[in-house]
Structure 1
């Protein structure tokens, strides 16, 4: 049952757990070093209360100066007067922004507070990073592609580590009783990577994640940002002489390489007609996640698009996080049914 366009059939997707051949041998040491470099970095954060028409919530506008002083635009949306509550960090999709408060009201209605920040260079935020190469291809995928230390998404991950440190600190506006991450597409990939990097998240929600299993994605994606890399080779290196160098850099930020460090409750989703983030890449991540409380929802006729049906699933998942119940305690769901349509 189910459709798939240019990807594996559903039966194979369920068991698709590829070897991580492009995971750099010093992957863990690399990210341990990045964390050490950030230990003594201090974020300057400015907040301002926004006048908002919904009386039960508060909205704070944030300017978050990251490790290199890049000012990232952000928001905090929380239940009014709450001094502590569970927190979701929501990551935006590629080319997107932190959005509007109304985008997050459904999560706040459950009792969560939501932090959301622009990704550097996207939304309304600049990027103070310095990259050693340009590109004939539009987008951010190739900025610093020859050097993992100075690659664009390495910088993005540093931002996320700084944001999480600040959210947990005494300098943040209130105390998180739980902390989880959420996102779709680019946001889904960032959520998986953040959870793996941090190692102490309480839950993860990642819909049709981008930045995931590049080896497969570059072979089967037909549109979207993976094509920036495909077209890089076509126009800059038609005989793929730099493939190993590019693949090594991508290996340090590929979210599938962080999934073996994820042990918390996880909800994912995949559309079987998704040609931007092919379903096999999502299943590769899902099947490497170590948590026993994980589930992936499958939508046979959905492409890379908003999915209100899955938003209902996410509300149910989040409500269970408040009750500290795993998936197998949700009525009608057992471990044997984690893949059911």
Structure 2
């Protein structure tokens, strides 16, 4: 059962009997959950304006190798994208054959994932869309050449540079995205975008929101159950997944929370909710009410802060943090509307 936000109010009583809403607000409260952004740094806008200016000064070295691919109607290329600090990010391009200009999607993968396989994107090429996807630095097959000052007993990427927003892991990831978006819109790109969209689930959903906030030329955004959202709430109620790296950091590295202010300040610079005020393009989001990895209140916090007038959130009462085939149909419908606009 999927409900658009506009229809949620009429179905609140029905849905409440289906979705257990594990550990989070009731659906009616979620609809109106728009928290104050008390952890948004005063220099947030200036900081990211500076980062954009810095990335505008880089010209990435990009190597493109075309494959022989089994499907004759598409072309597939392997990409090595050398980013601002010389980190080589592995990527892939899947495009309709013979097309030089078309709608383009930059796709982002989930935490611990990778850029994906060509087969993952064939359904979008049937709509005439070209898809670029890159490994997030340090994940997939790509290294991370940045040096981070602090260590931790907790595995994962969430704590790399956690007390230094200038050189925090996700700050560096966002710099990569800025550079990728610049390149995709340049004459060097093998496909000229007639429209440019972003897409992702979980970590990828959070990165899609950030990209849509940072780049004014993004025409549409799809963000499924986005991660990196509303940390103040997430650290209190998430029960699994990457947020727990930070929770366990305090347990094992700082049980008295003496570094909390530094940590939460760093996270304030990369919280995807803080970018939502900049997003005006059509946006499709989704959440399962039993998601304990990206709790529904954190996702609604992002949705309710979007400036976009054309926005929809699909609610799946009994879904957790998992692939949702029903929502794939919603995404096809959404993208067809973008093709027609």
TM tier relative to shorter chain: over 0.9
Q: How does 1:239-318 map to 2 (within 5 A)?
A: 239-318=256-335
Q: How does 1:72-151 map to 2 (within 5 A)?
A: 72-151=89-168
1:197 aligns with 2:209: no
Secondary structure of the corresponding residue to residue 129 of structure 1: coil
> Which stretch of structure 1 is more off in the superposition, 36-45 or 91-100?
36-45
Consecutive unaligned residues in structure 1, runs of 5 or more: 325-341
What is the CA-CA distance between 1:185 and the residue it aligns to? 0.2
Q: How far apart in 2 are the matches of 1:201 and 1:34? A: 18
Q: How far apart in 2 are the matches of 1:200 and 1:253? A: 20
Q: How far apart in 2 are the matches of 1:247 and 1:50? A: 45
CA contact (8 A) 2:56 2:179 kept: no
What is the CA-CA distance between 1:234 and the residue it aligns to? 0.3
Q: How far apart in 2 are the matches of 1:95 and 1:287? A: 28
Q: How far apart in 2 are the matches of 1:12 and 1:244? A: 28
Q: Which runs of 4+ in 1 moved over 2 A?
A: none
Q: How far apart in 2 are the matches of 1:199 and 1:22? A: 24
Aligned equivalent of 2:236, options 212, 216, 219: 219
Aligned equivalent of 2:37, options 20, 23, 47: 20
Secondary structure of the corresponding residue to residue 314 of structure 2: strand
Q: How far apart in 2 are the matches of 1:38 and 1:264? A: 23
What is the CA-CA distance between 1:37 and the residue it aligns to? 1.5
1:53 aligns with 2:63: no
Aligned equivalent of 1:180, options 197, 201, 211: 197
Q: How far apart in 2 are the matches of 1:122 and 1:82? A: 30
Q: How far apart in 2 are the matches of 1:258 and 1:200? A: 15
TM-score between the two structures when normalised by the length of structure 2: 0.94
Consecutive unaligned residues in structure 2, runs of 5 or more: 1-14
Q: How many aligned residue pairs are there?
A: 324
Secondary structure of the corresponding residue to residue 92 of structure 2: strand
What is the CA-CA distance between 1:40 and the residue it aligns to? 1.4
Partner of 2:5: none
Secondary structure of the corresponding residue to residue 285 of structure 2: strand
Q: How far apart in 1 are the matches of 2:314 and 2:337? A: 16
Secondary structure of the corresponding residue to residue 189 of structure 2: coil
Secondary structure of the corresponding residue to residue 249 of structure 1: helix
What is the CA-CA distance between 1:263 and the residue it aligns to? 0.3
Q: How far apart in 1 are the matches of 2:218 and 2:147? A: 31
Deviations along 1:129-153, one digit per CA (max 9) or x if unpaired, are: 0100111001000000110000000
What is the CA-CA distance between 1:41 and the residue it aligns to? 0.8
Q: How far apart in 2 are the matches of 1:85 and 1:36? A: 27
Q: How far apart in 1 are the matches of 2:180 and 2:217? A: 14
Q: How far apart in 2 are the matches of 1:57 and 1:38? A: 32
Q: How far apart in 2 are the matches of 1:275 and 1:208? A: 11
Aligned equivalent of 1:70, options 63, 87, 105: 87
What is the CA-CA distance between 1:93 and the residue it aligns to? 0.2
Q: How far apart in 1 are the matches of 2:301 and 2:238? A: 15
Q: How far apart in 1 are the matches of 2:31 and 2:233? A: 16
1:167 aligns with 2:184: yes
Q: How far apart in 2 are the matches of 1:253 and 1:197? A: 11
What is the CA-CA distance between 1:200 and the residue it aligns to? 2.0
What is the CA-CA distance between 1:124 and the residue it aligns to? 0.3
Secondary structure of the corresponding residue to residue 173 of structure 2: helix
* CA-atom RMSD in angstroms: 0.6
Partner of 1:329: none
